[in-house]
């Protein structure tokens, strides 16, 4: 057993857990974000998973940690008590060892649920392979989960994408994809756990069609025991681009499905089943095998057994250019609105295949991740969009700090209406991080904040024009004909798009000039090489100067630099040029300056 101690006991505990309040704009409800003191594996990422449960004041997190080899992982569970103390344990084999699995990013992630007896259920690390099912032997005890895969029906079946949900009577529901490859299809199947008999049974096939694969998205059970299922269809056998986002409601008492309008549906449901099942139909000319238009990842929120809406990612005409959308039913038809238009936010901006939505009282929220590809480095920010009864539009604010690498998330709502967030950043330099966040619904009315502001913060500037891209560049030397000074202002961040100084030039310089002096916000210098240790190839010792009406003015100097990107405050100085005076080009054996880009960002 390991004991995780929050930063509320002593100052020394701050080393173990970082707790920070993150109110990003005036008037918002403050979100509390703390880092769980674990290093998660790079495989700890997905869009369909359910690695989070909140039961009787206890929060349960399931996560992958590094395993016995670089391409393997273990699955651990952590429990956060009401006083902030964490307890953790690994999932164990029948022999008592921590179970160890092969990495399969985006596929082999854990989903958990807690039944009415307090037993914890975990379905983990399955991608078209037999069951990996673990259950605790003691209520609420994350150290007692053992392998009970043999108890599952359909032994030997090819299982993928387990999504769990607690039932209305202490039971547990499970939705998975089951391979039926000899028939040319992969089906969506619903399973049910009865805590009175401690047994699982196959409940029904949700959806099946030859030439198609079923992709589970979300599963919720309302207070009346009705099971709400959300999924999308892809071509058989598999594809990252899916279509025909679908929703139906299963009544265990009647052993049948209805659409959102209450009309009975045949079982299994097909892509062409009549009724109001498909909330994102084919666009003109779209087919099951197309890369665009495409759906990828969806989550739903309910209030009193009624669907409030569906958050999903959708690419309309450019592959991998996914916006975040919101689908609703008005009583007669489905409609969608765009919440995050990635293209409109500028070059390099994207959304990540992980989102969630919650509804409580008068407020509905959508959580998503906005990412920025910035000269070879991905930076990301978890965001919350909120709508409220009596108010038009959606307010926006960040949750927690921006991080290097992608982030994945899941959300759950407490009985008091506070959202608990699971925030995984599996590729953070130095080891993947896992954060716990609380976002209350009480407090002042939200004000301010915009997606444009969030993206500007990711870029590290105010969003002004990069004047260097309009100018010309000259340098004291160049290594080859294809590494001339203009490569440092061409907007590219590849190794083939760098200014590289001559090896004989021990103190090289590079100057960028543009027409018309303008007030500057920041100067950004990006340097290095994608091969080998980054710290060895970046600019080591240098000074950044800008040219004002009074001559050259230094605005920043760096010694023993190890960063690929250096941002210098230009202090609003009005200038028409910037230059780098380099006194030590690098720490590499080939001691040359390697500059991807010099950016002079105008003040807004």
What domains, with CATH codes, occur in the chain? 2-459 (2.120.10), 467-602 (2.60.120.260)
Secondary structure string (H, E, C) spanning 54-100 = EECCEEEEEEEEECCCCCEEEEEEEEECCCCCEEEEECECCCCCECE
Q: What are 72-88's pLDDT values in tens digits?
A: 999 999 999 999 999 99
Which among 52, 36, 4 has a CA at the least distance from the CA of 367?
52
Q: What are 128-175's pLDDT values in tens digits?
A: 999 999 999 999 999 999 999 999 999 999 999 999 999 999 999 999
Residues 184-193: what's their mean pLDDT? Answer: 98
Burial state string for 30-66 with b = 16 or more CB within 10 A and e = fewer than 16: ebbbbbbbbbbbbbbbbbbbbbbbbbeebbbbbbbbb
At residue 14, the pLDDT reads 23
Which of 1-5, 248-252, 304-308 shows the lowest mean pLDDT across its residues? Answer: 1-5
d(CA 292, CA 315): 6
At residue 464, the pLDDT reads 87
- Are residues 214 and 207 in contact, defined by beta-carbon separation less than 8 angstroms? yes
At residue 108, the pLDDT reads 83
d(CA 36, CA 248): 36
Q: How confident is the model at residue 18 (pLDDT cuts 50, 70, 90)?
A: very low
d(CA 106, CA 298): 15
Q: How confident is the model at residue 19 (pLDDT cuts 50, 70, 90)?
A: very low
Which among 41, 31, 43, 48 has a CA at the least distance from the CA of 354?
48
At residue 29, the pLDDT reads 55
Secondary structure string (H, E, C) spanning 276-329 = CCEEECCCCCCCCCCCCCEEEEEEEEEECCEEEEEEEEEECCCCCCCEEEEEEE
Residues 404-429: what's their mean pLDDT? Answer: 94
CB within 8 Å of 97: residues ≥ 6 apart: none
Phi, psi of 119 (to 5 degrees): -75, 140
The pLDDT of residue 21 is above 60: no
Which among 385, 380, 375 has a CA at the least distance from the CA of 402?
380
- The CA-atom distances, in angstroms, between 347 and each of 341, 373, 441, 526 are 12, 8, 33, 17
Global confidence as pTM: 0.86
% residues pLDDT > 70 (the chain): 94
% residues pLDDT > 90 (the chain): 86
Which of 428-432, 484-488, 561-565 shows the lowest mean pLDDT across its residues? Answer: 428-432
Q: What are 339-371's pLDDT values in tens digits?
A: 999 999 988 899 999 999 999 999 999 999 999
At residue 430, the pLDDT reads 80
User: How would you classify the pairing of strands 509-527 and 551-558?
Assistant: unpaired
Mean pLDDT, the chain, integer: 92
Query: Of residues 46 and 78, which shows the higher confidence score?
Result: 78
- Are residues 292 and 241 in contact, defined by beta-carbon separation less than 8 angstroms? yes
d(CA 484, CA 593): 12
The pLDDT of residue 271 is above 70: yes
Residues 284-312: what's their mean pLDDT? Answer: 97
Residues 375-391: what's their mean pLDDT? Answer: 90
Residues 533-559: what's their mean pLDDT? Answer: 97
Residue that is written with structure tokens 């992608």 in the block: 406
Residues 275-294: what's their mean pLDDT? Answer: 97
- Are residues 313 and 353 in contact, defined by beta-carbon separation less than 8 angstroms? yes
d(CA 107, CA 77): 18
Phi, psi of 242 (to 5 degrees): -120, 175
């Amino acid at each position: 057993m390991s004991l995780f101690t929050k930063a509320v006991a002593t100052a020394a505990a701050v080393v173990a857990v970082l707790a920070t309040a993150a109110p990003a704009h005036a008037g918002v409800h403050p979100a509390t974000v703390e880092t769980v003191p674990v290093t998660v594996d790079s495989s700890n990422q997905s869009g369909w998973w359910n690695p989070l449960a909140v039961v009787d004041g206890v929060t349960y997190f399931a996560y992958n940690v590094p395993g016995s080899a670089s391409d393997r992982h273990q699955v651990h569970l952590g429990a956060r008590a009401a006083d902030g103390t964490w307890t953790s344990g690994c999932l164990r084999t029948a022999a008592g060892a921590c179970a160890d699995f092969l990495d399969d990013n985006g596929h082999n992630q854990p989903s958990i649920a807690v039944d009415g007896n307090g037993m914890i259920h975990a379905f983990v690390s399955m991608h078209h392979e037999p069951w990996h099912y673990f259950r605790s032997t003691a209520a609420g005890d994350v150290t007692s989960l053992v392998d009970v895969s043999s108890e599952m029906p359909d032994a030997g079946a090819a299982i993928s994408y387990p999504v769990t949900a607690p039932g209305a009577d202490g039971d547990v529901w499970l939705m998975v994809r089951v391979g039926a490859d000899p028939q040319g299809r992969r089906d969506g199947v619903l399973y049910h756990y009865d805590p009175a008999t401690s047994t699982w049974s196959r409940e029904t096939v949700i959806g099946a069609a030859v030439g198609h694969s079923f992709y589970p998205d979300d599963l919720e059970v309302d207070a009346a025991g009705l099971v709400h299922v959300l999924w999308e269809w892809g071509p058989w056998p598999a594809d990252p681009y899916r279509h025909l986002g679908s929703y139906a409601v299963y009544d265990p008492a009647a052993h049948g499905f209805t659409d959102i309008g209450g009309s009975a549906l045949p079982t299994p449901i097909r892509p062409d089943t009549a009724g109001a099942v498909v909330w994102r139909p084919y666009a003109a000319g779209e087919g099951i095998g197309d890369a665009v238009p495409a759906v990828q990842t969806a989550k739903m929120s309910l209030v009193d057994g009624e669907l409030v809406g569906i958050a999903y990612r959708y690419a309309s005409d450019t592959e991998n250019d996914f916006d975040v959308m919101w689908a609703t039913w008005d009583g007669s038809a489905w409609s969608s609105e765009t919440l995050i238009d990635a293209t409109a936010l500028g070059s390099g901006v994207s959304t990540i295949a992980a989102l969630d939505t919650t509804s409580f009282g008068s407020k509905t929220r959508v959580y998503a991740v906005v990412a920025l590809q910035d000269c070879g480095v991905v930076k990301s920010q978890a965001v919350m969009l909120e709508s409220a009864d009596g108010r038009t539009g959606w307010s926006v604010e960040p949750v927690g700090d921006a991080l290097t690498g992608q982030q994945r998330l899941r959300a759950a709502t407490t009985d008091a209406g506070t959202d608990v967030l699971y925030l995984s950043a599996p590729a953070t330099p130095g080891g993947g991080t896992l954060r716990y966040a609380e976002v209350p619904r009480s407090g002042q009315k939200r004000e301010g904040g915009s997606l444009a502001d969030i993206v500007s913060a990711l870029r590290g500037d105010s969003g002004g024009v990069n004047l260097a891209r309009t100018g010309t560049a000259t340098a004291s030397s160049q290594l080859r004909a294809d590494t001339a000074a203009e490569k440092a202002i061409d907007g590219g961040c590849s190794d083939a798009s760098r200014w590289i100084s001559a090896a004989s030039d021990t103190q090289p310089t590079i100057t960028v000039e543009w027409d018309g002096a303008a007030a500057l916000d920041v100067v950004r210098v990006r340097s290095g090489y994608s091969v080998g240790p980054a710290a060895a190839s970046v600019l080591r010792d240098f000074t950044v100067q800008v040219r004002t009406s009074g001559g050259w003015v230094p605005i920043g100097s760096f010694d023993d630099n190890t960063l690929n990107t250096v941002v210098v405050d230009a202090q609003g100085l009005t200038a028409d040029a910037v230059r780098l005076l380099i006194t030590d080009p690098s720490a590499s054996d080939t001691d040359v300056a390697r500059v991807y880009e010099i950016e002079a960002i105008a003040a807004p």
